[in-house]
Structure 1
């Protein structure tokens, strides 16, 4: 009975990954194209270093749009990422670029993001820049951001982007750290 149960769980996890990856690619408006990051458009990381597509080429990206003043969703999502990354062996982690894109770039500059990331996994890179460029990235991911009265409505999912900048899938932020680690492990093992 235990062996059957174990096989069913593995099958279920594999099926869930296939649905996430296939369904997301089929429904994503940019699925056929690349989600290239514009060079020379003012994007910087938490250290103030310029960020463009070359920084991530050849690595799988786990992208999340969030902001530092978010009371619950963002810290919970980033802790899920942190715990999942802790489960990955160094060789796989080296092939992954976990990225937090500042959904509130007017308030979340490099210094604010650097302080915020101190709580989370050191591999996570934060990206900020002009509102128009951030909103352009969000639109490319079909992940609208709305800002009103100090509140930022942002996507509630992680975006998996392949090494060539092509979308691979969407993962709900409600995923457990173990399940996220499994998804990343499988995606990185291809």
Structure 2
């Protein structure tokens, strides 16, 4: 039970902005804003294409109407007709600016990673050199040596020439 009591005291001691009160709907609106912010951050983190962010209000920005719907209150009340509306709108603008910065930073990081991968791939292609005759001879020598260690029954099963045979055996048709 200590865990739940600790969580309850954390919620009670939570630092709220001055426009938020636990006695009215501002508390619900504030937490709805935080939930939507969390969802938008998750969207930003999981999407890498610029085209994923075409519609700002569905992808990385939050509208007042979305917060009002989430908090189960009127959009007009939340965004324009209440004494806290101005401060709420300022908070919403601050959160949207933060989300825009995160989106741009994420896309910049994705572009940088793709560029690094492309350069690394190009570099690895340059470093690959054609196999020389000496290397091919060495590989052939090693394979021949490995085949010599095989049992004659295994060689016959694999259709390899056994001791004294010159050509590989053919399947019976």
> What range describes the TM-score normalised by the shorter chain of this pair?
under 0.3
Larger helix proportion of the pair = 2
Higher radius of gyration, 1 or 2: 2
Using the size of structure 2 for normalisation, the TM-score is: 0.24
